[in-house]
Copies of this chain bind each other. A is one copy, B any other.
Amino acid sequence: MTTRRAKGETVGSIMKNEFLAVSDELTVEETIKHFRTASLEKVSKPSYIYVVDPRGYLVGVVQMRDLLSHSPNVHVRDIMLKNVVKVHAEMDQEEAVRYFIRHRFLALPVVNNEQKLVGIITADEMVDIAELEAEDDIAKIIGTGVDEITTHSIRRIVRLRLPWLAISILSGLACAFILGWFERDMKSVIALALFIPIVLGLSESTGMQSATIVVRNMALGRAALKDVRWLLQKEMVVGVIVGLICGMLVGGAATLWQANSNLGAALAISMSISIILSGVVGSCLPFLFRFVRIDPALSSGPIVLATCDIITLLIYFKISAFFLSGS
């Protein structure tokens, strides 16, 4: 078993010192000599040789191949690549993962506030982190954390799950309270109660699916404000299609089973509307959380579920009251 890294760390805390840096005043021959005599650790991750100026600023990068194919007396500053992609020591490791995915380098140099070269991060380390970050976002949405995947501590698991369950309890009590308003409707048409699980279930699924997609798009850096409109439009269209299909199927089934076409119509219409709205809720709330600087992954799950449940119950009973008041 491998040890997994913690998440949410900065590049500075995961970087390594095993890199090769040479002065930009060295020649190719001197650089090769430096490479040959450097301690084993520094070259065991071969990748790149970084070039720094007298102040320690990162000014370029060369590869072994460039050294071997140039005359020994050339200066490295004349053959180095000057446009170095680098990361900052205080950058979040998740952002560093994006750099690796975008640029596909085997290693990236790390600079501090003064632009001085202080370390490297290598792609092999990022494989683990990439997996961890993706897992954690979605683990949070369903109300746990990535730690739970590998921890053996019951106490830790309970602590990860309880805040989420606390919101579920509050939201469930709110649902009970709202259902209390419609006690009389349910007493007269008890069939209304039978369909509570299905009506809620489909709204919840839709809301969670949208929220997960938006949260991951945010992590992938694809959810700028200009994308909000697109994500919303997409959810609306998907919601209309899925809502109509589910509404008609369930409405049809209810009509046949309960021999009550008014109930069927109420179910079809309220499920269609609430599925559409749940998709919108699921795609908007993560943006709202990000705007108020709350972790969208952490808050989206339970709050999207609570919002979808409450909206759905209100729609279901209001529409049913309209259709069934005469029956």
Contacts and interface: CB of A to CB of B under 8 A. Distances in A.
A35 interface: yes
B172 A198 contact: yes
Contacts of A107: 106
A71 to B, nearest CB: 12
B126 A245 contact: no
Contacts of A202: 165, 168-169, 172
A72 interface: no
A170 to B, nearest CB: 10
B104 A169 contact: no
Contact of A124 (B105, B168, B171, B198): B105
13 contacts: A2-B102, A43-B64, A64-B64, A97-B131, A148-B213, A149-B216, A165-B205, A173-B198, A179-B197, A183-B194, A193-B196, A196-B197, A197-B313
B205 A168 contact: yes
A176 interface: yes
A40 B66 CA distance: 10
Contacts of A162: 242, 245
B36 A63 contact: no
Interface string A142-185: 11100011101010011001101100110111011101100100
A131 B128 contact: no
Nearest to A152: B234
A161 B202 CA distance: 11
Interface stretch (A7-15, A22-30, A110-118, A133-141): A133-141
Contact of A194 (B139, B176, B213, B238): B176
Interface residues of A, number: 105
Given A102-B2, A150-B222, A169-B249, A44 B68 contact: no
B106 A127 contact: no
Given A169-B202, A205-B143, A161 B194 contact: no
Contacts of A105: 124
Contacts of A194: 175-177, 179-180, 183
Contacts of A213: 144, 148-149
A61 to B, nearest CB: 12
A209 interface: yes
B237 A154 contact: yes
A212 interface: yes
Contact of A106 (B124, B206, B234): B124
Given A104-B125, A105-B124, A172-B250, A158 B242 contact: yes
